Chain A
Amino acid sequence: MIRNLPSVACSLALAATLAAQDTIKIGEYASLTGKEAAYGDTSHKGIVLAIEELNTHGGVLHQKLELLTEDNQSKQGESATVVKKLISRDHVVALLGEVASIRSLEAAPVIQNAKLPMVSSASVNSKVTEAGDYIFRVCFVDSFQGVVLAKFVQESLKVRRVAILTSVNSAYSVGMTRVFKERFLADGGTVTAEQKYSEGDKDFRAQLTAIKAAGADAIFASGYYTEAALICRQARALGLTLPVFGGDGWDAPALLEIGGAAMEGTYFSTHYSPDNPSAEVQNFNQRYKARWGEVPDAWAALGYDSAFVLADAMKRAGSTEPAKVRDALAATKDFPAVTGHITMDAHRNPSKSAVILTIKDGKYKFVSSVAP
Chain B
Amino acid sequence: MTEFLQQLLNGISLGAIFALIALGYTMVYGVLRFINFAHSDVFMVGAFVGYYIGRHVPEHTLWGGFLALAGAMAVCALLGVIIERLAYRRLRGSPTLNVLITAIGVSLLLENLGQFFFGATPRPFPELFPVTTFIVGGVYVSSNQLVVIGVTLGLLLALEFIVHRTKIGTAMRAVSLNPKAASLVGINIDVVISFTFALGSALAAAGGILYALNYPSIDPLMGVLPGLKAFVAAVLGGIGNIPGAALGGLLLGIVETFVNGSADWSSYKDAIAFAALIIILLFRPAGLLGRFTTEKV
- A residues with a Cβ closer than 8 A to B are 1-3, 33-35, 37-38, 41, 74, 168, 193-198, 200-203, 205-207, 209-210, 212-213, 226, 229-230, 233, 237-239, 254, 257-258, 260
Contact across chains for A1 and B116 when beta carbons are under 8 A apart:
yes
Contacts A237-B133, A238-B6, A257-B123 given; indicate if A230 touches B215 (C-beta within 8 A).
yes
Contact across chains for B119 and A197 when beta carbons are under 8 A apart:
no
- Inside 8 A of A168's CB, which chain B residues have their CB? 267
- The distance from the CB of A212 to the nearest CB of chain B, in whole angstroms, is 8
Contacts A210-B263, A239-B133 given; indicate if A254 touches B258 (C-beta within 8 A).
no
Q: How far is the CA of A237 from the CA of B225 in the complex (A)?
A: 23
Pick from B121, B140, B263, B267: contact of A238, CB below 8 A: B140
Contacts A2-B119, A193-B263, A239-B140 given; indicate if A206 touches B216 (C-beta within 8 A).
no
Contact across chains for B257 and A205 when beta carbons are under 8 A apart:
yes
Pick from B7, B117, B124, B215: contact of A209, CB below 8 A: B7
Query: What are 13 sample pairs from A and B whose C-beta atoms fall under 8 A apart?
Result: A1-B115, A1-B116, A33-B115, A195-B263, A197-B260, A198-B270, A206-B257, A213-B3, A238-B6, A238-B140, A239-B140, A254-B123, A257-B124
Residues 217 to 268 of chain B near chain A (Cβ within 8 Å): 217, 219, 221-222, 224-225, 256-263, 266-267
Contact across chains for A37 and B121 when beta carbons are under 8 A apart:
yes
Q: Give the dominant DSSP class at B's interface.
A: helix
Q: How far is the CA of A258 from the CA of B125 in the complex (A)?
A: 7
Q: How far is the CA of A38 from the CA of B266 in the complex (A)?
A: 28
Contact across chains for B120 and A209 when beta carbons are under 8 A apart:
no
Contact across chains for A41 and B142 when beta carbons are under 8 A apart:
no
Pick from B117, B123, B225: contact of A200, CB below 8 A: B225
Q: How far is the CA of A34 from the CA of B224 in the complex (A)?
A: 13
- Inside 8 A of B215's CB, which chain A residues have their CB? 202-203, 230
Asked if B279 is at the interface (CB within 8 A of a chain A CB), the reply is no
- The distance from the CB of A166 to the nearest CB of chain B, in whole angstroms, is 9
- Inside 8 A of B257's CB, which chain A residues have their CB? 203, 205-206
Asked if B122 is at the interface (CB within 8 A of a chain A CB), the reply is yes
Asked if B135 is at the interface (CB within 8 A of a chain A CB), the reply is yes
- Inside 8 A of B133's CB, which chain A residues have their CB? 237, 239
- Inside 8 A of A195's CB, which chain B residues have their CB? 260, 263, 266
Contact across chains for B261 and A206 when beta carbons are under 8 A apart:
yes
Contact across chains for A207 and B225 when beta carbons are under 8 A apart:
no
- The distance from the CB of A190 to the nearest CB of chain B, in whole angstroms, is 14
Contact across chains for B266 and A254 when beta carbons are under 8 A apart:
no
Contacts A33-B120, A257-B123 given; indicate if A206 touches B258 (C-beta within 8 A).
yes
Asked if B14 is at the interface (CB within 8 A of a chain A CB), the reply is yes
- The distance from the CB of B17 to the nearest CB of chain A, in whole angstroms, is 9
